[in-house]
Amino acid sequence: MLEKILAEKFRNTLKLVFSDINNQQDRRDEAEFVKDEARIREKLLARIHAFPSDTVLSEDFLVAAVDGSGTESLVTLDDIRVHLLSTSTIVLNTDTQRESLFSMVDRATVESEIGEQPHIDVHWHSSVRNDAREKMAESLAEIYPLKDMVSLILPFFCDYTGGKISSITDISDTEFAPFGSRLQVMRSLISRTQTLTNAAVHEELRKVSEYAAARRLLESDLCPKYLLLDGAMSIFMHFVRHYPSMPSGFMLRDLCSLARRKEVILCAVSKNHTIPFAHRIASVAKEELGEGAKWFCHLPSKEDPGGGLHIIEDRAYIPPILAVPYLYSFSRDNRPSRIDFDRVWWSENIFVDGDPQATRENELALFRELEFMSRDARWYGYPVALALAHENCKLSFEDLRLAKEIARDVRLELGFDDRKTESLRTDYNL
Amino acid sequence: MDLDREKLGELYGKVGVGNQTSLGIMGNNRDISVGEIFMIYSKRDDHERVFFFRVLDLENYLRQVDDISRVASTLMVEGDAYLSGIERNMLLSVGGRMLGFAEKDKKGEWTFKAPRRMPDHLASVYRPMPGLSDESVREMLECQTDGEIVVGDLQVGEDTLDVPVRIPCKYLPMHVGIFGSTGSGKSNLMMVLIKSMIDTNLDAARNPNRKSTRVSAFCIDPHDEFAKGVDNIGIQNIVEDMSDKMRSEVIGEFYYLTTHRSATVREIGRYAREIRILWSEIQPRDLYSIMEFSPQMSSFIDAQYNGGSNEDWIATIIDMDESSDDSQGTLRAVKRRLRFLERSPIFIREGSSILEDIYCAMETGRILVVNTSLMGDQEQFLLTTVVTRTLSDMRRALKSSGNLGDFERQGEMRLPRSFFNRVKERARAFYSKGGGRDSAEVRDPRSLPVIQVTVEEAPTILNPELMRGQSVFKDISRQGRKFNIGLLVVSQQVSVLDNVILSQMNTEINLRLGNEREIKACIDNASVNISGFESEFRVMARGEAILTASYRELPLPVRIPFFNDIYEKDKHRYKDAKPKKTEEHII
Convert the pLDDT of each residue in B543-568 to its tens digit: 999 999 999 999 999 999 999 999 99
Residue B414 located in a structural domain? no
Residues B347, B282: contact at Cβ < 8 Å? yes
Q: Does residue A219 sit in the same domain as residue A347?
A: yes
Residue A142 located in a structural domain? yes
Q: Does residue B507 sit in the same domain as residue B545?
A: yes
Least confident of A1-5, B124-128, B394-398: A1-5
Q: Does residue B378 sit in the same domain as residue B487?
A: yes
Interchain pair A377, B71: CB under 8 A = yes
Question: Residue A295: pLDDT band by 50, 70, 90 thresholds?
Answer: very high
Interchain pair B78, A384: CB under 8 A = no
Mutate which: B75, B80, B89, vs A, most A CBs within 10 A: B80
Q: Does residue A201 sit in the same domain as residue A230?
A: yes
Residue B407 located in a structural domain? no
Q: Which range has highest mean pLDDT (A174-178, B268-272, B310-314, B569-573)?
A: B268-272
Residue A308 located in a structural domain? yes
Q: Does residue B117 sit in the same domain as residue B237?
A: no
Residue B420 located in a structural domain? no
Mutate which: B69, B76, B84, vs A, most A CBs within 10 A: B84
Q: Does residue A341 sit in the same domain as residue A421?
A: no
Output A349 or A3, whichever has higher pLDDT: A349
Residue B57 located in a structural domain? yes
Which of these three, B347, B372, B389, is where a domain ends? B347
Residue A35 located in a structural domain? no
Q: Does residue B116 sit in the same domain as residue B177?
A: no
Q: Does residue A228 sit in the same domain as residue A344?
A: yes
**For residue A96, what are the β-bridge partners?**
none
Output A422 or A217, whichever has higher pLDDT: A217
Interchain pair B80, A391: CB under 8 A = no
3-state secondary structure B35-96: CCEEEEEEEECCEEEEEEEEEEEEEEEECCCCCHHHHHHHHHHCCCCECCCHHHHEEEEEEE
- Residue B580 pLDDT > 60: no
Count CB atoms within 10 A of the CB of residue B33.
13
- The CA distance from B42 to the nearest CA of chain A, in Å, is 25
- Residue B578 pLDDT > 60: no
Interface residues of chain A, partner chain B, Cβ below 8 Å = 50, 52-53, 92, 101-104, 331, 375-378, 380, 384, 388, 391
CA-nearest residue to A50 within chain B is B80
Residues of B in contact with A52 (CB under 8 A): 80
Interchain pair B85, A102: CB under 8 A = yes
Residues of B in contact with A388 (CB under 8 A): 84-85
Interchain pair A101, B84: CB under 8 A = yes
Q: Tell me how long chain A is.
A: 430
Q: What is the pLDDT of residue B114?
A: 87
CA-nearest residue to A102 within chain B is B84
Residue B413 located in a structural domain? no
- The CA distance from B233 to the nearest CA of chain A, in Å, is 53
Q: Does residue A329 sit in the same domain as residue A408?
A: no
CA-nearest residue to B73 within chain A is A377
Q: Does residue A219 sit in the same domain as residue A349?
A: yes
Range of the domain at A409: 397-428
Residues of A in contact with B83 (CB under 8 A): 376-378
Least confident of A250-264, B184-198, B409-423, B457-471: B457-471
Our count of domains for chain A comes to 2
Residues of B in contact with A384 (CB under 8 A): 84
CA-nearest residue to B69 within chain A is A378
CA-nearest residue to A386 within chain B is B84
Q: Does residue A165 sit in the same domain as residue A71?
A: yes
CA-nearest residue to B70 within chain A is A378
Convert the pLDDT of each residue in B62-112 to its tens digit: 887 888 888 899 988 888 899 888 888 899 999 998 989 999 998 889 999
Q: What are phi and psi of B289, to 5 degrees?
A: -80, -20
Describe the crossing of helices B328-343 and B295-306 by its angle, rounded to 10 degrees: 70
Residue A348 located in a structural domain? yes
Question: Residue A302: pLDDT band by 50, 70, 90 thresholds?
Answer: confident
Query: Which of A325, A178, A189, A313 is CA-nearest to residue A251?
Result: A189
Residues of A in contact with B69 (CB under 8 A): none
Distance CA(B74)–CA(B97), nearest Å, equals 35
Name the percent of chain B lying above pLDDT 70.
96
Residues of A in contact with B65 (CB under 8 A): 378
Q: Does residue B288 sit in the same domain as residue B207?
A: no
Residues A307, A50: contact at Cβ < 8 Å? no
Residues of A in contact with B84 (CB under 8 A): 92, 101-104, 376, 384, 388
Residues A408, A421: contact at Cβ < 8 Å? yes
Q: What is the pLDDT of residue B135?
A: 93
Q: Does residue B529 sit in the same domain as residue B497?
A: yes
CATH code assigned at B384: 3.40.50.300
Convert the pLDDT of each residue in A181-212 to its tens digit: 778 888 888 887 667 788 888 999 999 999 99
Residue A421 located in a structural domain? yes
Position B310, amino acid: N
Residue B155 located in a structural domain? no
Interface residues of chain B, partner chain A, Cβ below 8 Å = 64-65, 71-72, 74-75, 78-85, 88
Q: What is the pLDDT of residue A312?
A: 79
Q: Does residue A319 sit in the same domain as residue A360?
A: yes
Q: What angle do CA A131, A134, A138 make, to 5 degrees?
A: 130
Find the mean pLDDT for residues A283-287. Answer: 91
Q: Does residue B311 sit in the same domain as residue B218?
A: no
Q: Does residue A201 sit in the same domain as residue A304?
A: yes
Q: Does residue A243 sit in the same domain as residue A305?
A: yes
ipTM above 0.90, yes or no: no
Does the predicted TM-score (pTM) go above 0.80? no
Question: Residue A418: pLDDT band by 50, 70, 90 thresholds?
Answer: low
- Residue A394 pLDDT > 50: yes
Q: Does residue B218 sit in the same domain as residue B337?
A: no
Q: Does residue A203 sit in the same domain as residue A300?
A: yes
Distance CA(A39)–CA(B299), nearest Å, equals 111
CB neighbours of B172 closer than 8 A, spacing ≥ 6? B149, B215, B450, B452, B486, B488, B507
- The CA distance from B97 to the nearest CA of chain A, in Å, is 28
Residues B415, B391: contact at Cβ < 8 Å? no
Residues of A in contact with B76 (CB under 8 A): none
Count CB atoms within 10 A of the CB of residue A257.
21
Distance CA(A339)–CA(A295), nearest Å, equals 12
Convert the pLDDT of each residue in A102-111 to its tens digit: 999 988 999 9
- Residue B532 pLDDT > 70: yes
HSE toward the beta carbon, residue B52, CA cutoff 13 A: 27
- The CA distance from B143 to the nearest CA of chain A, in Å, is 44
**For residue B18, what are the β-bridge partners?**
B23
Q: Does residue A279 sit in the same domain as residue A360?
A: yes
Q: What is the pLDDT of residue A352?
A: 95
Q: What is the pLDDT of residue B583?
A: 46
Q: What is the pLDDT of residue A420?
A: 67
- The CA distance from B75 to the nearest CA of chain A, in Å, is 6
Residue B154 located in a structural domain? no
Convert the pLDDT of each residue in B482-498 to its tens digit: 999 999 999 988 888 88
Q: Does residue B60 sit in the same domain as residue B195?
A: no
Q: Does residue B531 sit in the same domain as residue B387?
A: yes
Query: Which of A398, A291, A343, A338 is CA-nearest to residue A47?
Result: A291
Question: Residue A91: pLDDT band by 50, 70, 90 thresholds?
Answer: very high
CA-nearest residue to A379 within chain B is B71
Instruction: Give the DSSP letter string of A22-40.
Output: IIIIIHHHHHHHHHHHHHI
Convert the pLDDT of each residue in A356-373 to its tens digit: 999 999 999 999 999 999
Our count of domains for chain B comes to 3
Interchain pair A104, B79: CB under 8 A = no
Range of the domain at B212: 165-275+354-401+443-572
Nearest residue, CB atoms, B65 vs list A52, A92, A378? A378
- Residue B579 pLDDT > 50: no
Q: What is the pLDDT of residue A13?
A: 93
Q: What is the pLDDT of residue A421?
A: 66
Q: Does residue B450 sit in the same domain as residue B513?
A: yes
Which of these three, B347, B368, B390, is where a domain ends? B347
Q: Is the dihedral of CA A331, A336, A337, A342 positive or negative?
A: positive
Residues of B in contact with A380 (CB under 8 A): 74, 78, 81
Find the mean pLDDT for residues B329-347. Answer: 89
Convert the pLDDT of each residue in B30-39 to its tens digit: 999 888 899 9
Question: Residue A415: pLDDT band by 50, 70, 90 thresholds?
Answer: confident
- Residue A398 pLDDT > 50: yes
For residues A18-37, b (16+ Cβ closer than 10 Å) or e, as one string? eeeeeeeeeeebeebbeebb
Convert the pLDDT of each residue in A303-325 to its tens digit: 888 888 888 777 777 788 899 99
Distance CA(A142)–CA(A140), nearest Å, equals 5
Q: What is the pLDDT of residue B582?
A: 42
Nearest residue, CB atoms, B79 vs list A53, A331, A376? A53
For residues A323-356, b (16+ Cβ closer than 10 Å) or e, as one string? bbbbbbbbbeeeebbbbbbbbbbbbeebbeeeee
Residue B433 located in a structural domain? no
Q: What is the pLDDT of residue B586?
A: 45
pLDDT, chain B, mean: 89
Distance CA(B493)–CA(B499), nearest Å, equals 13
